Amino acid sequence: MKIKMVVTDLDGTLARSDATICPVDRKALETIGSAGICRVIATGRSYFSACKVLSADFPIDYLVFSCGAGIMDWQTKEIIQAQHLPQKKVETITKILLDHKVDFSIQDRIPNNHHFSYSLPNKDNQDFKRRLAIYRDYCRELDLNKIEEASQIIAILGDSTVWFEQLSQKFNNVKIVRATSPLDGKTLWMEILPPLASKSSGVDYLCTLLNISSTQTVAIGNDYNDVDMLSYCKYSFVVANAPEELKNSYPTVASNDRNGFSQLVNQLICSEMNPS
């Protein structure tokens, strides 16, 4: 069956370790676009943050951002879907996180979800401090009297997967996504999203919009927040810099620093866009 959509993660997959994109991989995107294949980037970054890596004329068709909370038509820059956590739900989650002395941020509504309020009870959380330094012009300390609807909540937890699982059990009617910090490459992040928000739901929305079957899709990723997307798409791959657990579950191409994306595209072209 002919491939009609290719979906790639950004950080650690399409983007190199220095957050730039190799011209070879950009050319690969142009090639599949000329073949009529829909090109989608699905990222945990906000639109604001994605624009630090992607130029306005970057050769994609859609951007699924903030782990699926938002979807943008890249050609028109129109946000075609946005999901949010209701104020009451944000208040409930905030209380739980404060009670357990978790470091977290509450991201504002889309499209301004690079702005956030935060709580930092653990002053030795270096990963969180790095994030605050990057977004120093866009963050503010949490004011419990000013909690509003939010696009997502991000808890930065450390390195304990056991604590991640224990904490995740305390929430209901939300989507919990495990991610690895893009800042230090090891700290666990818990992303708390609206219940129907995910990379896979964003891809599914686009498939419905464009009348594309999931059996006509290809995905490539590198981290745990890509798993639902990889499970959704018919043909899924990971780059060589992905965790061993993922490489044991999906076919592997070269790393993000060695043009894994273009390797995948070349494989598709050689098989007439129809992998076996």
The pTM for the full model equals: 0.92
Quick check: 270 pLDDT over 80? Answer: no
Domain boundaries in the chain? 5-82+197-270, 87-193
- 47 burial via Cβ count (<10 Å: 0-12, 13-18, 19+): buried
Quick check: 275 pLDDT over 60? Answer: no
User: Band of the pLDDT at 236, cuts 50, 70, 90?
Assistant: very high
Quick check: 268 pLDDT over 90? Answer: no
Number of alpha helices (DSSP H) and beta strands (DSSP E) in the chain: 9, 14
User: Band of the pLDDT at 96, cuts 50, 70, 90?
Assistant: very high
Enter the tokens of residue 195: 């219940």
Q: Is beta strand 188-193 parallel, antiparallel or unpaired with respect to 104-107?
A: unpaired
Instruction: Judge: domain 87-193, CATH 3.30.1240.10.
Output: yes
Write down the mean pLDDT value for the chain.
95
Q: What is the pLDDT of residue 271?
A: 63
pLDDT digits (tens, 9 = 90+) for 121-130: 999 999 999 9
Cα–Cα distance, 40 to 21 (Å, whole number): 15
Cβ-Cβ contacts under 8 Å for 115 (sequence gap 6 or more):
107, 108, 138, 139
Residues, the chain, total? Answer: 276
Quick check: 272 pLDDT over 80? Answer: no
Q: What is the pLDDT of residue 1?
A: 61
Instruction: Check for a shared fold between 5-82+197-270 and 87-193.
Output: no
Q: What is the pLDDT of residue 55?
A: 97
pLDDT digits (tens, 9 = 90+) for 174-188: 999 999 998 998 999
pLDDT digits (tens, 9 = 90+) for 39-52: 999 999 999 999 99
Instruction: Domain 5-82+197-270: give its CATH architecture.
Output: 3-Layer(aba) Sandwich (3.40)
Quick check: 238 pLDDT over 70? Answer: yes
Region 100-112: mean pLDDT is 97
Q: What is the pLDDT of residue 6?
A: 97
